[in-house]
Structure 1
Amino acid sequence: MRSDVHPIDGDLVRRLIVGQFPQWAGLAIKRFPSGGTVNAMYRLGDHMVVRLPLVQGGAGDVDKERMWLPRLAPHLPTTVPTGLGYGEPAEGYPWAWSVYRWLEGENPEAGALSEPVRLAEDLAEFVAAMRSITLSDAAPQAHRGGPVASLDAETRAAIEELRGIPQEGVDCTAATAVWEEALRAPVWGGPPVWLHADLMPGNLLVDGGRLTSVIDFGCLGTGDPACDLFPAWNLLPTKAREVFRQALRVDDATWIRGRGRTLSQALIALPYYRETNPTMAHNARHVIRTVLQEG
């Protein structure tokens, strides 16, 4: 998918485990298929998972999760990753890496939710809990947590790229109108709030239709609360979307910014991943359709 991906395979993972966590050296190691673009994941035995950054840009996420997840977890209504070990660069692998407790569940799929309204309520409870957290130490700014305008150049460039891919069928004029509405919306005037900042379906686990875990906190930090409204358009159908909004009491300006941010991410992802990552491209198409139909 990217030219800067570091090669990772089972033999490398085995050497890293043997060298740094010999107590787990006898456990089976198996690549776990994922649509993620920043980390590779390998099952370690039945109860653990090894997570290794694929690119330099994800290397700092290990330290961020190690520092903040244990402090955020007690305040959250769902299970989050529990670190069991933190590895160091070795065997030619250049970055820190993690071993987490394995969390059971499945990624939800837009259009195939068994309990969409209850899932919307669960998601709203998680987002509200994140927003309510106050910690004494200075928090990092969330990835994508800044003003909507900071995404303008990249979003417009993606729209122009999609104009040149007519087979995708994106109404670029309508997409531009939604984006410009987000740019005109009043900026967040309150204090920055804690955010997961990457609430994609691939970072959610459900069981029986209900949210059980939220994973991959590599983008966490504080910022505009609109940044955690992504599930409204990347996952939830119309009725559940409104339940999600009402549960969080989202004002019009924040809703418009959230819709614009979600659309921006999808517009950027689609031309980038359309030929290399079917999962990301499929969700991007879903978001674009959903947002433009709603608009």
Structure 2
Amino acid sequence: MANHPPAEIFVDESLVRRLLQEQHPHLADRPLRPVANGWDNYIFRLGTDYAVRLPRRLSAAALTANEQVWLPALTADLTVATSAPLYAGSPSEAFPWPWNVTRWFPGTAVSLQPRDRNVALAAPLAGFLNAFHRPAPPDFPRNPVRGVPLASRNDAVRGRLDSGMVPHAARIRELWEASLELPVWPGPALWIHGDLHPANLVGAADGTLQAVIDFGDLTAGDPATDLAAAWLVFDRTGRNEFRKSLGTQYDADPHVWGRAQGWAVCMASSLLANSDDHPGMYLLGSETLMEILTEGLDWP
């Protein structure tokens, strides 16, 4: 069964060129070509320095709007580059939703390299999170599936575990139930990326982190959501280095890593149950599940 949602609007080079001519004419003459047709967005490369991202679905349009409103200020002082909008596109007669022009990063998607190489990402990714996980204002963009108490994801996770699509479901269920018993995040709602997996990380030529991309799930809440990257991105060696590099920022909550593993279960089960038409994402779910099973309840 294919789970990639169909596009609600068809976008090609001619439409993108028209939008650029109308709203950002100084960019409109650069070479343009499609490079990805993802879950939420069309992505075109514009010249050598830019990417154009346009929502494929109405539900993704709201995510694009959130990026336009919040990301420029949130990422201005970060030491790690991001896909924050450089030029914002507005709804128009040609295209009814917001769209963005961002930087193009020439590095390699971390999802395409072996996990044992990701240890070099541990320190810069930890630095990104320590800087990004700041208290959010009361009007932060709500997200029903990220940053929320794990119990709110229980029905979805149990449904996946009952579907037959998740290997070792009985043991994974035990680990999931253990995470549900932990206290919720006791601190203020912190800004979170919300979807911090290897396909949203770009590696530099020297093996370190070039950029963090795709903030469509941007919200605030429990930072354990992003700390699930310990299992999504790293093997045990890298995970230990990642935790060490984070320092003491989360030490006030002794349960943060237990919930982070719960979030890793939530995300891995989603990848396994919903990526049968995307082998790379299915493999990510499978590898993450093995990391979770290997570690069990051995939280720091």
TM over 0.5: yes
Structure 1 letter corresponding to 2:255:
A
1:196 and 1:221 in contact (8 A); partners too: yes
For 1:233 and 1:219, locate their aligned partners in 2 and report how far apart those are by CA, in whole Å.
19
**Is residue 247 of structure 1 aligned with residue 234 of structure 2?**
no
* TM-superposed deviation, 1:14: 2.3
Q: Distance in 2 between matches of 1:29 and 1:114?
A: 35
**Partner secondary structure for residue 265 of structure 1:** helix
Q: Which has the higher helix share?
A: 1
Residue 6 of structure 1 aligns with which residue?
Answer: 9
Residue 136 to residue 258, structure 1, CA distance change in 2 (3 Å)? closer
Given candidates 275, 279, 288, the residue that maps to 1:273 is: 275
Match of 1:121, SS state, is: helix
Give, in whole Å, the separation in 2 of the partners of 1:106 and 1:18.
30
2:225 aligned with 1:227, yes or no? yes
Structure-2 separation of matches of 1:269 and 1:46: 32
Aligned residues: percent identity? 33
Which amino acid counterpart does residue 46 of structure 1 have in structure 2? T
Deviates more, 1:7-16 or 1:121-130: 7-16
Query: What's the secondary structure of 2:44's corresponding residue?
Result: strand
Residue of structure 2 in register with 1:218 after alignment: 216
**Paired residues, what number?**
287
Unaligned runs of 5+ in 2: none
What TM-score, normalized by structure 1, do the two folds share? 0.89
Aligned-pair CA distance for 1:101? 2.4
How large is the Cα RMSD of the aligned pairs?
2.2
Counterpart in the other structure of 1:146: 148
2:126 maps to which residue? 124
- Whole-Å separation in 2 of the counterparts to 1:100 and 1:120: 25
Corresponding position of 2:63: 61
Q: 2:45 aligns with which of 39, 43, 46?
A: 43
**Alpha-carbon distance between aligned partners in 1 of 2:137 and 2:58, rounded to the nearest angstrom:** 29
CA distance in 2, matches of 1:110, 1:16: 32
The amino acid of 1:286's aligned partner reads: E
Helix, strand or coil for the counterpart of 1:109? helix
Name the structure 1 match of 2:175.
178
Tell me the CA shift for residue 203 of structure 1: 1.2
Q: Which amino acid aligns with 2:190?
A: V
Q: Is the partner of 1:123 in helix, strand or coil?
A: helix
Retained in 1: the 8 A contact 2:45–2:52?
Answer: yes
Query: How far apart are residue 33 of structure 1 and its match?
Result: 3.2
Q: Residue 15 and residue 122 in structure 1: after superposition, are their counterparts in 2 closer, same or farther (change >3 A)?
A: same
| Deviation (angstroms), 1:258 | 0.7
Q: Using structure 2 for the length normalisation, give the TM-score.
A: 0.87
User: Which of these residues, 236, 239, 242, is aligned with residue 234 of structure 2?
Assistant: 236
CA distance in 2, matches of 1:134, 1:265: 24
Deviations along 1:113-133, one digit per CA (max 9) or x if unpaired, are 5753331111111111112x3
Q: Which runs of 5+ in 1 are unaligned?
A: none
Q: Which amino acid aligns with 1:27?
A: R
Shift, 1:239, TM fit: 1.3
CA distance in 1, matches of 2:64, 2:73: 15
Report the equivalent of 1:291: 292
* Change beyond 3 A, Cα 1:113–1:70: same
Cα distance, 1:51 vs structure 2: 0.2
Q: Which amino acid aligns with 1:157?
A: G
- 2:224, 2:257 within 8 Å by CA — same for their partners in 1? yes
Measured in 2, the distance between the counterparts of 1:173 and 1:223 equals: 29
